[in-house]
Structure 1
Amino acid sequence: MLRRMSHAIKFYDIGLNLTDPMYQGLYNGKQYHQPDIQRVLRRAQQARVHAMLLTGSSIHESQEAVALAARFHSPDARLYYTLGVHPCCVNEFVLADTNSTIDNPTNDPEFNARLDVADAAFTKSKLRQLYTLMRDNARDPKFRAIGEIGLDYDRFYYSSQEMQLLFFEEQLKLSCLFPEMPLFLHMRNCCADFVAVLDKFVRGFADADDRFDHRELVREAGASHEHLPQIRDDGAIFYRFSPVRKFVTHSFTGSPQDLQDVLSLSANSYIGMNGCSFKTAENIQCAKEVPLERLLLETDAPWCDIRRTHDSYKYLFTDPSAHNLQKDDPWHSGLSDAYPDIPQWFNSVKRDKLDKKSEEEREQTTVKSRNEPCFMGHVATVVARVKQLPIEEVASTVWDTTCGVYGE
Structure 2
Amino acid sequence: MLVDSHCHIDFPELADDLPNVLARMQQNGVTSALCVGVTIEHLPRLLAIADAHPSIFASVGVHPDNAADPEPSLDDLLRLAAHPKVVAIGETGLDYHWHKDRPEWQRQRFRTHIAAARQSVKPLIIHTREAAADTLQIMREAGADRVGGVMHCFTEDWETASAALDLGFYISFSGIVTFKNAVALKEVAKRVPLDRLLLETDSPYLAPVPFRGKLNQPAYVRYVAEEVARLREMPLEELAAASSDNFFRLFSCALRP
| Same fold, TM-score > 0.5, yes or no | yes
Q: 1:294 aligns with which of 196, 214, 225?
A: 196
Q: 1:371 aligns with which of 216, 221, 236?
A: 216
State the Cα distance separating 1:167 from its structure 2 match. Answer: 1.1
- 2:241 is aligned with 1:380: no
Structure 2 SS opposite 1:92: coil
Structure 2 SS opposite 1:65: helix
**1:169-180 superposed matches below 5 A:** 169-178=111-120, 180=121
Structure 2 SS opposite 1:88: coil
State the Cα distance separating 1:188 from its structure 2 match. Answer: 1.3
Structure 2 SS opposite 1:386: helix
The CA deviation string for residues 47-70 of structure 1, in whole angstroms up to 9 with x for no partner, is 111111001001113232112212
Q: 2:79 aligns with which of 131, 135, 152?
A: 135
**1:333-344 superposed matches below 5 A:** none
The CA deviation string for residues 35-89 of structure 1, in whole angstroms up to 9 with x for no partner, is 2111101110111111110010011132321122123x14xxx010000001011
Q: Distance in 2 between matches of 1:165 and 1:283?
A: 26
Give structure 1 stretches of 5+ with no counterpart: 1-9, 25-34, 94-122, 203-239, 311-367
- 2:138 is aligned with 1:197: yes
Structure 2 SS opposite 1:59: coil
Structure 2 SS opposite 1:371: coil
Amino acid at match of 1:44: M
Larger radius of gyration: 1
Structure 1 SS opposite 2:170: strand
Structure 2 SS opposite 1:52: strand
Q: Distance in 1 between matches of 2:227 and 2:65?
A: 29
**1:52-91 superposed matches below 5 A:** 52-71=33-52, 73-74=53-54, 78-91=55-68
Amino acid at match of 1:390: P
2:69 paired residue number: 92
State the Cα distance separating 1:256 from its structure 2 match. Answer: 1.6
Amino acid at match of 2:157: S
Are the aligned partners of 1:57 and 1:83 in contact in 2 as well (CA < 8 Å)? yes
Structure 2 SS opposite 1:19: coil
User: What is the TM-score when the length of structure 1 is the normalising length?
Assistant: 0.58
Structure 1 SS opposite 2:201: coil
1:12 paired residue number: 3
Q: 1:144 aligns with which of 81, 87, 104?
A: 87
Q: Distance in 1 between matches of 2:116 and 2:67?
A: 15
- 2:152 is aligned with 1:250: yes
1:273 paired residue number: 173
State the Cα distance separating 1:259 from its structure 2 match. Answer: 1.3
Q: Distance in 2 between matches of 1:399 and 1:43?
A: 18
Are the aligned partners of 1:252 and 1:277 in contact in 2 as well (CA < 8 Å)? no
Are the aligned partners of 1:90 and 1:167 in contact in 2 as well (CA < 8 Å)? no
State the Cα distance separating 1:241 from its structure 2 match. Answer: 5.7
Q: Distance in 1 between matches of 2:96 and 2:123?
A: 24
The CA deviation string for residues 85-111 of structure 1, in whole angstroms up to 9 with x for no partner, is 010114323xxxxxxxxxxxxxxxxxx
Are the aligned partners of 2:171 and 2:198 in contact in 1 as well (CA < 8 Å)? yes
Are the aligned partners of 1:55 and 1:62 in contact in 2 as well (CA < 8 Å)? no
Are the aligned partners of 2:3 and 2:244 in contact in 1 as well (CA < 8 Å)? yes
Q: Distance in 1 between matches of 2:242 and 2:98?
A: 34
Structure 1 residues 38 and 309, CA gap change in structure 2 (3 angstroms)? closer
Structure 1 residues 70 and 156, CA gap change in structure 2 (3 angstroms)? same
Aligned length: 251
Q: 1:263 aligns with which of 165, 172, 177?
A: 165
Q: Distance in 1 between matches of 2:95 and 2:44?
A: 23
Q: Distance in 2 between matches of 1:199 and 1:399?
A: 27
- 2:238 is aligned with 1:393: yes
Structure 2 SS opposite 1:176: helix
1:163 paired residue number: 105
Q: Distance in 1 between matches of 2:203 and 2:12?
A: 12
Are the aligned partners of 1:186 and 1:251 in contact in 2 as well (CA < 8 Å)? yes
The CA deviation string for residues 170-211 of structure 1, in whole angstroms up to 9 with x for no partner, is 222233321x21111111121100000001123xxxxxxxxx
The CA deviation string for residues 114-141 of structure 1, in whole angstroms up to 9 with x for no partner, is xxxxxxxxx5xx426xx3354255151x
Q: Distance in 2 between matches of 1:308 and 1:36?
A: 21
Higher relative contact order (CA 8 A, sep 6+): 2
